[in-house]
Amino acid sequence: MAAIEAPEVQLPADGELIGEAPSSPAGPIDAAEAASLPEPPMIQLPRFMQVLRFNQRQIEFVFKARRELGEVFRMRGMVRGGPGGGPVITSHPDHVRSLFTAKPELAPSLTGESPLRPIVGPNAVLTATGPRHMRQRKLLLPAFHGEAIERYMQMINEAAEREISSWPRGRPIALAPRMQAITLDVIMAGIFGIEGKPAGNTPEGRLRAATRASLAVSTWPIAQLAELMNIGHDEPRGLTKVGMSALDVATYAVISERRGAQDLDERNDILSMLLQARTEDGEALSDKELRDELLTLVLAGHETTANSLAWIWERLVRTPAAYDALREAVRSDTGAEEMIEATIYEGMRSRPVIPMIGRRVTVPWRLGEYAVPADTPVAMSILLVHHREDLYPDPFAFKPERWIGHKPGTYEWIPFGGGIRRCLGASLAMAEQRVVLDQMVRRLDIEAVDPDPEHAVHRNVTMIPAQGARAIVRDRG
């Protein structure tokens, strides 16, 4: 990320900033065809070094590998490798399409094997595969539909208003934790049906505090060691286990309190909905299953959105042309919605908070000029797809104007993944980003503390701004 230069300030001709990739064959093939094609080239470093570099400096690692080996390559380590090593990493949209549209049993998600598994357990919608995944996903979908999001809009607006008013003016602050306060309130309200900030002495209040505390701890370098210790294990170990127990106590307390509520059928929060849900055999979810699901939503739902917003500001305050254009559109109410949308698209393109997602192919698979055998983990580098010269000319520049008149392509713009594993909270995350961005642009003038771009650091599966997007905010002049 250090190599990223300040973008040129110029408005190119329409269409120039969104392109196409040349087509590349991909998808399931038979064993004979697979045998006739070479396997992808391997990164030549010892496994330990690869895992370490991938964890510490994923950006440099994958860009270097693509420069040296091409758009499909293979690394050692990280997840169970299958025949021949660790995950194969691709960055071609046709390969992405083949994985997103495959029958679920041919390319199940890798999240069940990721560093998230020891945290949210093996049975949550995020980590389960097969029929169990589909059942959990169906159960949760209504809570994230457009209609449900409409109901959240006022609450999002209020959470944003409250928080923005409380920020100190005129001195450097990190925006990421401030954004997190907003997105945590939003997700807690959606999941638990709490309006506003829950009081500290309620089970919900204690859960909110425990969530914030565990996230703060996970930025410490020692937490990265805990992550490495957990690779390849199903259950939390060592430091992760210690960190999780406070969160668990708080979550179980909320579940137990809500089980006793008399008005479950009148409430439309997610916990009340899940408490009433029954499987085909008429069984209710156990406390453990509920805990896994709720924790997944709290963790997947707010840190990602907060950091996506933080990245957008990290980019905006260093790209005066983009910031001026947005401010002008929003404050004059001319094309405001379109500019906000374009800015979010570009922010999520250039700084995808989740830089990589994966599937395990269960049959031989073609990836362009290469083939991989059955049981190979195939990762899609969102970061590399989003920085292809052919798809996004001048890919390292932050140019929201790319998106004026253009909708993101399903396999070319993939910050929320895709197919049957596409992010459940995508509409909620987009709504939150629109509201918060709109309010901040209207109410505040924001400037960078340091003109140099912020580096990315990796936390669990996310990529976040190293300084938390430090900026100085002032009331609009």
- Interacting residues toward ligand HEM by CB under 6 A: 109, 125-126, 137, 187, 296-297, 300-301, 304-305, 308, 353-354, 357, 415-418, 421-425, 428-429
Q: What letter would DSSP give residue 404?
A: T
**Could you please report the per-residue DSSP string of 69-112?**
H-SEEE---SS---TTSS-EEE--HHHHHHHHSS-TTTS-BSGG
In which residue are the tokens 């900026």 written?
Answer: 471
CB 179 within 8 A of CB 164: no
Tokens matching residue 54: 């991938």
Distance of closest approach, residue 126 Cβ to ligand HEM, in angstroms = 4
Alpha helices in 351-412 (DSSP H): 382-385
Return the number of the residue (301 or 377) whose C-beta is nearest ligand HEM: 301
> Helices H, strands E: what count in the chain?
17, 12
Q: Are 401 and 323 in contact (CB under 8 A)?
A: no
Least Å from the CB of residue 464 to ligand HEM: 11
Smallest separation, CB 128 to ligand HEM (Å): 8
Looking at the Cβ atoms of 433 and 467, the one nearer to ligand HEM is: 433
- Kindly state the smallest distance separating residue 296's Cβ from ligand HEM, in Å: 6
In 167-220, which ranges are continuous DSSP H helix?
Answer: 175-192, 203-217
Largest CA distance in the chain: 68
Cβ atoms of residues 94 and 409 within 8 Å: no
CB nearer ligand HEM, residue 239 or residue 345: 345
Shortest reach from residue 124's CB to ligand HEM, in Å? 8
Q: Which is nearer to ligand HEM, 50 or 109 (CB)?
A: 109
Taking the least distance from each CB to ligand HEM, the nearer of 354 and 361 is 354
Closest approach, Cβ 265 to ligand HEM, in A, equals 23
Nearest CB to ligand HEM, comparing residues 100 and 370: 100
E strand spans, 301-350: none
Tell me which long-range contacts 470-473 makes (C-beta under 8 A, separation of at least 24).
470/172, 470/173, 470/174, 470/175, 471/172, 471/173, 471/175, 471/313, 471/317, 471/446, 471/447, 472/170, 472/171, 472/172, 472/173, 472/446, 472/447, 473/167, 473/169, 473/170, 473/173, 473/444, 473/445, 473/446
Q: Which is nearer to ligand HEM, 173 or 353 (CB)?
A: 353
CB-CB neighbours of 154 under 10 Å: 10
Residue at token pair 């959606």: 190
Cβ proximity to ligand HEM: between 323 and 411 the closer is: 411
Using the minimum distance from each CB to ligand HEM, give the nearer residue, 125 or 223: 125
Closer residue to ligand HEM, CB minimum distance, 368 or 418: 418
Give which of 181, 178, 219, 119 is closest to 459, Cα–Cα.
219
The phi, psi pair for 197, rounded to 5°, reads -80, 125
Nearest to 26, CA basis, from 96, 106, 107, 109: 96
CB of residue 354 to ligand HEM, shortest distance in Å = 4
Which CB, 77 or 425, lies closer to ligand HEM? 425
**From CA 92, how far away is CA 381, in angstroms rounded?**
9
Strand partners, 201: none
